[in-house]
C-alpha cells in the first residue's frame, strides 16, 4: 500500500547515488571528485533520472530509499542525508506527488538487480548529470547535494545506523 500525505499527494522517495573517483582525505570535496549514478526511464526516450519510487506504508522512509535504489539502479549503500522535499504533478497533470530525496554513498554495485532488463545505469560527472537529468526537482536536489558535499558535508545527516543497507 502506497503512502499519501494529508493533501492526498502520493509520497515518493529517491536517492542520488554517488561514489568518489579516487581517495578522499577530507569531508570537504570538489564536485569533480565524485560521480553520480543516473538511470534510464522505463519510458523510452524520456531521459535520465535518479532512482525513485513509492514509499510503502510498511517501511520507513530510509528502507524505501534503499529498496528503490536497489530495485531500479542495482546498487546498495548508505543513506547519508535528506536533501529536501518537492511537490510536483505527474505526467497526466492529475496525480500530485511529494518526493523526498536523499544522498546515498554507494558501497556495492550489483551485476543483477530487479529492473536490469528495463533500465540502463550510467556513472556520470555532476556536470553531465545537470545536462541529462529529466526533472527540474531532481536538478534542484543535485545542486543541494553538491552544496552539502562541497561545503561542510550533509546538514541533515541521518543517524549512523538508520541509513545502512542490510
Model pLDDT, residue 166: 41
pTM of the model: 0.86
> Distance between the two ends of the chain, CA-based, in angstroms?
22
Q: What is the mean pLDDT of the chain?
A: 87
Cβ count near 16 (within 10 Å): 28
Which domains are present in the chain?
10-150 (3.90.79.10)
CA distance 79 to 24: 19
Model pLDDT, residue 24: 54
CA distance 27 to 17: 17
Burial class (CB in 10 A: 0-12, 13-18, 19+), 104: buried
Average pLDDT score over residue span 77-81? 94
Q: Who has greater pLDDT, 91 or 79? A: 79
C-alpha cell at 74: 542495482
- Residues 6 or more apart whose Cβ sits within 8 Å of residue 94: none
C-alpha cell at 35: 560521480
Q: Is the pLDDT of residue 99 over 90?
A: yes
Q: What is the pLDDT of residues 40-66, one digit of tens each?
A: 988 766 789 999 999 999 999 999 999
Average pLDDT score over residue span 67-72? 98
Q: Who has greater pLDDT, 88 or 22? A: 88
9, 2 contact by CB (below 8 A): no
Nearest to 127 by CA among 35, 41, 49: 35
Q: Is the pLDDT of residue 92 over 90?
A: no
Can you give the three-state secondary structure of 113-143, one letter per residue? CCCCCCCCEEEEEHHHHHHHECCHHHHHHHH
Q: Who has greater pLDDT, 93 or 25? A: 93
Angle at CA of residue 122, ends 154 and 142, nearest 5° = 30
State the pLDDT confidence band at 91, using cuts at 50, 70 and 90: confident
Amino acid at each position: 500500500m502506497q503512502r499519501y500525505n494529508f493533501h492526498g499527494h502520493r509520497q515518493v522517495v529517491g536517492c542520488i547515488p554517488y561514489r568518489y573517483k579516487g581517495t578522499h582525505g577530507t569531508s570537504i570535496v570538489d564536485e569533480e571528485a565524485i560521480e553520480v549514478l543516473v538511470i534510464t526511464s522505463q519510458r523510452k526516450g524520456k531521459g535520465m533520472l535518479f532512482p525513485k519510487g513509492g514509499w510503502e506504508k510498511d517501511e520507513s522512509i530510509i528502507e524505501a530509499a534503499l529498496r528503490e535504489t536497489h530495485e531500479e539502479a542495482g546498487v546498495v549503500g548508505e543513506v547519508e542525508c535528506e536533501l529536501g522535499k518537492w511537490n510536483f504533478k505527474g505526467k497526466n497533470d492529475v496525480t500530485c506527488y511529494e518526493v523526498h530525496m536523499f544522498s546515498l554513498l554507494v558501497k556495492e554495485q550489483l551485476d543483477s538487480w530487479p529492473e536490469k532488463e528495463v533500465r540502463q545505469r550510467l556513472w556520470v560527472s555532476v556536470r553531465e548529470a545537470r545536462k541529462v537529468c529529466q526533472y527540474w526537482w531532481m536538478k534542484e536536489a543535485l545542486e543541494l547535494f553538491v552544496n552539502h558535499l562541497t561545503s561542510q558535508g550533509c546538514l541533515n545527516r541521518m543517524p549512523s545506523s538508520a541509513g545502512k543497507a542490510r
